[in-house]
Amino acid sequence: MTRLIFLGPPGAGKGTQAKELADHLQIPHISTGDILRQALKHQTPLGIKAQIYMDKGELVPDHLVQDMVEERLKQADTESGWILDGFPRTVQQASFLQSLLQKLEQRGERVVNLDVPDDVVVGRLLERGRKDDSEDVIRRRLEVYRSETAPLIDYYSSREQLFIVNGNQSLEDVTVEITKAIS
Ligand code: B4P
C-alpha cells in the first residue's frame, strides 16, 4: 500500500513525478493545484475564491484546501493508496492531515522532498509559462515556499517519514531515485 506525499518548491517536479508514479502504481494522484485550477476553470465558488490567491502566488487559505482534501480522501478509490501532490503546504495543513488520516484509519504515509535549487526552478517555470508562471509571481511563490512550506521538512524529518531526493537531474533519474528511496 503506497501513501506518498510530495514536497518541494514550485517547479520542483512534484506534479510530473507524482503523475508518473501514480500511473505506474495505479493509485490516485491527488494534486491540490490541479483541483484548484479545475475549480477556477469552471468558476465554482471555491475556484472564484482561490483565484485571487493563485494569481498573486499566495497560498489559498488552509480551511478551503483542507475541506477539499478531506472530501477527496474520503472517496472509495483511495483505499488502494494515493499520492498527494502540493498538500500539505503549511504546518497547519500537515497537522490537519495527520488527524484526518488517523480518523480515516489510513496509516504509513511517507514523504518525498524534491530538492532543486531556486535558479533551476525559476528557469523551468518560466519555460512552462502557465498563468501563474510570470517572473514576479514565481518569486513570490518561492518566498511563500520558504516561509510556509520549507518548515515541513523538519516537521516530517523529526517523525522519520522523510526521504530527500535530488530533483535536479533528468526526469527518469528522479523517478528511479524516488522509487529506490521508497521501496
Ligand atoms: P501547484 O499546482 O502545486 O504548482 P507547482 O508547485 O508550481 O508545481 P510542481 O512542483 O508540481 O511542478 P511541475 O511538476 O509541474 O500549485 C499552484 C498554486 O496552487 C500554488 O501557488 C497555490 O496558490 C495553490 N495551491 C496548491 N496547493 C495548495 C495548498 N495545499 N495550499 C494552499 N494553496 C495551494 O514541474 C514544473 C515544470 O518543470 C514542468 O514544466 C516540468 O516539465 C518541468 N520539470 C519537472 N521535472 C523536471 C526535470 N527533472 N528536469 C527538467 N524539467 C523538469
| Three-state secondary structure string covering 86-110 | CCCCCHHHHHHHHHHHHHCCCCCCE
Q: Is 159 a residue whose pLDDT tops 90?
A: no
* CATH classification at residue 158: 3.40.50.300
Sequence-distant (6+) residues with CB within 8 A of 5 are: 83, 84, 87, 88, 97, 109, 110, 111, 112, 156
Ramachandran assignment for 107, one of left (phi > 0), alpha (psi -120 to 50 degrees), beta (any other): beta
Q: Which atom of ligand 1 is nearest to the CA of 168?
A: 49
Is the previous residue joined to 45 through a cis bond, with omega within 30 degrees of 0? no
Q: Which atom of ligand 1 is nearest to the CA of 171?
A: 49
CA 129, chain centre distance (Å): 19
Distance 15 CA to ligand 1 centre (A): 6
Report pLDDT digits (tens) over 25-71.
999 999 999 999 999 999 999 999 999 999 999 999 999 999 999 99
Instruction: Quote the domain boundaries for residue 53.
Output: 2-182
Q: Is 90 a residue whose pLDDT tops 90?
A: yes
Mean pLDDT of 75-93: 97
- Mean pLDDT of the residues in the chain: 96
| Inter-helix orientation angle 32-41/62-73, to 10° | 100
Which one, of 69, 72, 83, 77, lies nearest residue 175 by Cα? 83
pTM of the model: 0.93
Instruction: Pick the residue whose CA is nearest to atom 39 on ligand 1.
Output: 128
Instruction: Pick the residue whose CA is nearest to atom 21 on ligand 1.
Output: 57
Using pLDDT thresholds of 50, 70 and 90, give the confidence band for residue 141. very high
Q: How far apart are CA 160 and CA 2, in angstroms?
A: 16
Q: Which atom of ligand 1 is nearest to the CA of 17?
A: 14
Using pLDDT thresholds of 50, 70 and 90, give the confidence band for residue 183. confident
ipTM of predicted assembly, 2 dp: 0.88
Using pLDDT thresholds of 50, 70 and 90, give the confidence band for residue 164. very high
Sequence-distant (6+) residues with CB within 8 A of 90 are: 59, 62, 148, 149, 152
Predicted pLDDT of residue 118: 94
Q: Domain tally for the chain? A: 1
Residues whose beta carbon lies within 6 Å of some atom of ligand 1: 8, 10-16, 32-33, 36, 53-54, 57, 59-60, 65, 86-87, 89, 93, 124-125, 128, 132, 141, 170-171, 174
Mean pLDDT of 123-136: 93
Predicted pLDDT of residue 160: 84
